[in-house]
Structure 1
Amino acid sequence: MKNATIFLMFQGQANEAIQQYQQWFPDLTVESLMYMDNSQQVAMAVLNLMGLKIMVNDSNIQHHFTFTPSISIFVECESLNEINHLVAHMLKGGKALMPLDNHGFSERFAWIQDRFGVSWKLTYN
């Protein structure tokens, strides 16, 4: 096995999602980004979030499914301010699957599905 990577397939929102994630995570870098011919749809992009590689594309085939919250990206925050900031921004157009709170296993934890349908688990201990 050479590698394993998270792959997020969007249906026309990949470019918008990449821009949003860059705002939420200042350390996120775009390692590569290719667009489909004569389009702003993403043929393939590779993001790097603190060493986590995330591949992103727009499917040019319409599917009758989207993201499910059973798979999520887990982020360990460095401060209360950071987790509060991320949760507040992710909730704009998104929804809390578990609201930010002390759930016993973490001092502050939230499970958020963002406006694109991608699920994030955020923790601060």
Structure 2
Amino acid sequence: MTTVTPFLMFTGACEEALNVYVSLFPEAEITSLSRWGPGAGGPEGKVQQASFTLAGREFRAFDSPDVHAFGFTPSFSLFVECGDEAELDRLYAALGEGGQVLMALGDYGFSRTFGWVNDRFGVSWQLNLP
């Protein structure tokens, strides 16, 4: 069976980002994590491979041993349907902290409340209250 899994590439902050993400969503967890060892081709102690879940969806991530001329872009984002206004406000504040607001929380006509942020790691999040 073919599977499709979102994969996030960080350049040194992978474990910190995953810890933030799993702290924000119920029943989220890091399911596996291995680190670069000495002479293994990557930054020793940083994440070589990780798997984690958010809202039942599996993700993979790592710290790239190479710095690339690209990073995350809002053209790919994680879309979160929130259950209530309190959850939306909490996630918007936590994910936006140290990041960048792309669309402030508001009524844009397609939902009751919507907001879009890039978190401090560069990952883009669309937060929606239908």
1:5 — aligned with what?
A: 5
Q: How far does residue 89 in structure 1 lie from its aligned partner after superposition?
A: 1.1
Q: Give the secondary structure class of the aligned counterpart of 1:16.
A: helix
Q: 1:120 aligns with which of 106, 125, 130?
A: 125
RMSD: 1.2
Offset from partner CA, 1:3-50 (integer Å, 9 cap, x none): 001000000110110111122223211111111115331111111111
Number of the residue aligned with 2:33 = 33
Give the Cα–Cα distance (whole angstroms) in 2 for the partners of residues 89 and 66 of structure 1: 21
Task: From the CA coordinates, give the structure whose radius of gyration is larger.
Answer: 2
* Deviation >2 Å, runs of 4+: none
Structure 2 residue runs of 5 or longer lacking an equivalent are 39-43
Q: Percent identity?
A: 42
Q: Whole-Å Cα distance in 1 between the matches of residues 27 and 104 of structure 2?
A: 25
- 2:90 — aligned with what? 85
The 8 Å contact of residues 15 and 40 in structure 1, kept in 2 or not, is answered as: no
Q: CA deviation at 1:117?
A: 0.4
Q: How many corresponding residue pairs?
A: 125
1:1-125 alignment runs, 5 A limit: 2-38=2-38, 39-125=44-130
Aligned AA (2:96): L
Structure 1, gaps ≥5 residues long: none
- Aligned-partner Cα distance in 2 for 1:5–1:37: 25
Most deviating of 20-29 and 59-68: 20-29
